[in-house]
Amino acid sequence: MTSTLPPPAAPTDTPAPPTAARRPRPRLGVGTWIAAALLGLVLLVAVIGPLIAPHDPTGVVGLPSRPPSGEHWGGTDSTGMDVFSRTLAGTRIDVAIAVFSTLLATALGIVVGLAVGMNESRRGPVGMAARGLSRLLDLLQAIPVVIIGLVVVSFFGTSTVTMILAIAVILMPIQARLTRTEVLRVRGDAYLDAARQAGQHELRVIVKHVLPNSVRPALLNVSVILGISIVLTAALGFLGVGLPPPTPEWGSMIAHGAGDAAVGKWWSAGFPAAALCITVASASVLTHRFTVNRVG
Amino acid sequence: MRLLRQRPAADPVGDRGLVQITGESLEKTFVVNRARHRAVAAVDVTIGSDRTIGVIGESGSGKSTLARMLSGLEQPDGGTLDYNGVPLGHHLASQTGRRDFRRAVQLVSQDVSSSFDPLRTLRDAVRTPAMVLCGLESAAADQRVDEVLETLQVSPAMADRRPHEVSGGGQRQRFAIARALVVRPRVLLCDEVVSALDVSVQGAVLNMLKDYVEQNRAGLFFVSHGIPATAFLVDELIVMQDGEIVERGSTDEIVDRPQHEYTRFLVAAARRSGRIEVVAS
């Protein structure tokens, strides 16, 4: 054993390699600005909608099935309730259900994705449970989402909380699978072993290193599932398992007014349908704009 | 989470007592696509702060798996693994035992590219063991980090960069070594630490490891493909093939008088490459 290898290299302090030049940030198009303005308007109406509604959104305020007029800007539905006021008031409920169900689905999805991804290749009961949970996520994604919603609402009844839970259950597997995929990529990286060698508890290794390195796709997907949850809320309402009347909710209003639309009284379903389209379309445009620029 | 923030009492000098890890009949099998692959089979090995041991063998011979088992990062499927006479699993089960073991035994991984969290600075990676295992406060840990980096001939200013901002595997490997040395381990396990480096950087890294071992009277378990680099550092050699130890002995014996056919093949290959003369006595 001799020391005849070359002497250590001289101290080095090489400058950081020049980082790749950032791509010039593309200009925001007119469509993006319009979508942002419309979504901003929707969120504003969600906050102050019931306050600025010209009529009581849950009461009979006029003759049934009257067309739009100066007294009733959106006309009245078949029971005499003001369509415009109900559309404004319904914004809060639909947006609230969408936002809370998206947050719940994302939080649960990230936790489940971390748990499954970190444990599914382990031996023993923990690994078996993780693999079972992974197959359950596959199963949940294979079942049509509306059916899951119908089952959850049938079991727990119809209320705002139930709707949030039902939609969160539907959307959670999407976020969980995105997170799991990233965890599978990250979990073999040597810096996790280095963190364990630094004496850190396994839970701390997951929270400090695995989570930050695997959560980005799920966070980027939040805007996508926000749009899906608005449509799902309306879909469950349209199928008659949404919030019961007279609670103003777009899906229920569309279902209730669909029969009138068939005989030419378009306004009962037309105004909530327009509000739904504007919200989902503007959210989709903004989602596309930002995810393409961030990921693409 | 309160428990997780507890730190041991500050002990910058560290325990200088004898440290020994003993593995008997160690076995490890991996299942890949439902096929069982025996990585390590019936291996007996003892490493400690008073020994420098090298392990050589071709890819897939079980060297890295053995090093990971001895570092406590991989659990053996069979056999016993003791740390200072007590089963290693008992040490790793408690926070105090885990930290005592981690402080005494550190592994430097072969994977330089993924050995640092891309979202954190290199200083954070090197400082964390000093804070968690040695109980140093942030300022003292930073000072320790700077000292170790200067020993390894790396400018401390580089530590404030993220991994992708440091060019060259050699620099990153020095930071990986610094992360292990910052706690002043009694036994250093090195898994192919120079394989991905060019020859000039290999020499510098090997000299740094040799200096640490000699100056701190620490033990070394050095895993490598190549005989020259291994023989430069260690007093004993282990030759592995297909998960089993086929030959072991002093470095001079193995290099000068290899007994097993596979060892002779490895030595002959190293001689043909002309590099074994660099380190031969």
**Shortest CA gap B106–chain A (Å):** 7
**Token match 């799920």: residue?**
A218
* Chain B residues close to A200, C-beta within 8 Å: 4, 128, 132
Would you state the pLDDT for residue A124?
Answer: 87
The terminus-to-terminus CA distance of chain A in angstroms comes to 54
Alpha helices in chain B (DSSP H): 2-5, 63-70, 88-93, 95-104, 122-134, 138-151, 169-181, 199-216, 227-233, 251-256, 261-273, 276-279
Percentage with pLDDT > 70 across chain A: 89
Query: Considering CB atoms only, which of B102, B114, B281 is closest to A197?
Result: B102
Is the pLDDT confidence value at B9 over 90? Answer: no
Would you state the pLDDT for residue A9?
Answer: 41
Lowest mean pLDDT across A261-270, B14-23, B228-237: B14-23
More confident residue, B174 or B11: B174
**In whole angstroms, what is the distance from residue A93 CA to residue A99 CA?**
10
**In whole angstroms, what is the distance from residue B108 CA to residue B68 CA?**
10
For A134-201, give the DSSP string: HHHHHHHHHS-HHHHHHHHHHHH-SSHHHHHHHHHHHHHHHHHHHHHHHHHHHTT-HHHHHHHHTT--
- Given a contact cutoff of 8 angstroms between Cβ atoms, the answer to whether A245 and A252 are in contact is yes
Query: Considering CB atoms only, which of A17, A188, A195 is closest to B167?
Result: A17
Would you state the pLDDT for residue A137?
Answer: 92
Q: Do A191 and B154 touch (CB under 8 A)?
A: no
Pairing of strands B35-48, B20-32: antiparallel
Q: Do A193 and B176 touch (CB under 8 A)?
A: no
Query: Considering CB atoms only, which of A193, A199, A212 is closest to B129?
Result: A199
- Compute the C-alpha angle B69/B210/B220, nearest 5°: 20
* Chain A residues close to B103, C-beta within 8 Å: 199
The letter for the amino acid at A140 is: L
Would you place residue B276 in the very low, low, confident or very high pLDDT band (cuts 50, 70, 90)?
Answer: low
**In whole angstroms, what is the distance from residue A133 CA to residue A115 CA?**
9
Would you state the pLDDT for residue B4?
Answer: 40
Is the pLDDT confidence value at B198 over 90? Answer: no
Searching chain B, which residue's CA lies closest to the CA of residue A207?
Answer: B1
**Token match 């279902």: residue?**
A255
- pLDDT, tens digit, 9 for 90 and up, residues B218-242: 999 999 988 888 988 999 999 999 9
For A57-74, the three-class secondary structure string (H helix, E strand, C coil) is CCCECCCCCCCCCCCCCC
The terminus-to-terminus CA distance of chain B in angstroms comes to 54
Would you state the pLDDT for residue A156?
Answer: 83
* Chain A residues close to B154, C-beta within 8 Å: 11-12
Searching chain B, which residue's CA lies closest to the CA of residue A185?
Answer: B114
Q: Do B155 and A213 touch (CB under 8 A)?
A: no
- pLDDT, tens digit, 9 for 90 and up, residues A183-239: 999 998 999 999 999 988 899 999 999 999 999 999 888 888 888 888 888 888 888
Q: Do A8 and B128 touch (CB under 8 A)?
A: no
Q: Do B102 and A212 touch (CB under 8 A)?
A: no
Searching chain B, which residue's CA lies closest to the CA of residue A210?
Answer: B117
Would you state the pLDDT for residue A262?
Answer: 85
Phi, psi of B28 (to 5 degrees): -150, 130
Would you state the pLDDT for residue A130?
Answer: 94
Confidence (pTM): 0.79
**In whole angstroms, what is the distance from residue A206 CA to residue A196 CA?**
10
Closest CA to B62 of B48, B83, B77, B49: B77
Would you state the pLDDT for residue A24?
Answer: 59
**Token match 């503007």: residue?**
A282
ipTM of this complex prediction, to 2 decimal places: 0.84
Q: What is the DSSP letter of A81?
A: B
Q: Do B125 and A14 touch (CB under 8 A)?
A: no
Is the pLDDT confidence value at A97 over 50? Answer: yes
Searching chain A, which residue's CA lies closest to the CA of residue B122?
Answer: A191
Query: Considering CB atoms only, which of A4, A8, A10 is closest to B208?
Result: A8
- pLDDT, tens digit, 9 for 90 and up, residues A27-77: 678 888 999 999 999 999 999 888 888 999 999 998 999 999 999 999 999
- Given a contact cutoff of 8 angstroms between Cβ atoms, the answer to whether B231 and B21 are in contact is no
Is the pLDDT confidence value at B99 over 70? Answer: yes
Phi, psi of B188 (to 5 degrees): -110, 125
Would you state the pLDDT for residue A295?
Answer: 45
Searching chain B, which residue's CA lies closest to the CA of residue A1?
Answer: B232
Query: Considering CB atoms only, which of B103, B176, B204 is closest to A9?
Result: B204
